[in-house]
Structure 1
Amino acid sequence: MQKLIWAAALPFVFALSGCLENDVQRAAVGAGIGAVAASATDNDPLVGAAVGAGVGALSDDIADAF
């Protein structure tokens, strides 16, 4: 179930990567999304924030690869 939630959240992170100007902004939004998603699934919000920040910061690099 957790993998499904994370997979469902990724398109939103990629969509936001086009709206934000730099990696810091994308990391901040990713951290927020990760913390909320982790909290909603009864997981550690700090871990969710860390994962979300990493995905957010790298989302423009991943999107450019395709």
Structure 2
Amino acid sequence: MMKKTLAIALTPVILLTACSGMSNSQQRELSGAAIGAAAGAGIVAIAGGTAIWGAVGGAAVGAVGGYAYDKYEKSKQQEYNSGYQAGKATQ
């Protein structure tokens, strides 16, 4: 029992330190997958199914959502940069 409790306590620490060298894109996709896995497991468990399949499906959907959000943020930054450059050119 003590080993299981220790493993559960250390898991978030290990996961957070593993993300330190990731790019913004990778962090967004991983965050989406993690949120999707938790939501999928919770919803399927409440519905009475096997939580692992909900976690797998939720992780897949969440990763795609994180990827789409990353593309949106990059396009927003690109538009800002092009507007900034255009504004500098008129001065």
TM-score strictly above 0.5 = yes
TM-score relative to the length of structure 1: 0.59
Aligned to 1:31: 37
1:37 aligns to what SS in structure 2?
Answer: helix
1:55 and 2:44 correspond: no
Per-residue deviation, 1:59: 1.4
Q: What amino acid is the match of 1:36?
A: G
Q: Which runs of 5+ in 1 are unaligned?
A: 1-20
TM-score relative to the length of structure 2: 0.43
Segments ≥4 residues shifted beyond 3 Å: 60-64
Considering only aligned residues, what root-mean-square deviation do their CA atoms show, in Å?
1.6
Identity %: 30
Q: Which runs of 5+ in 2 are unaligned?
A: 1-26, 72-91
Question: How many residue pairs are counted as aligned between the two chains?
Answer: 44
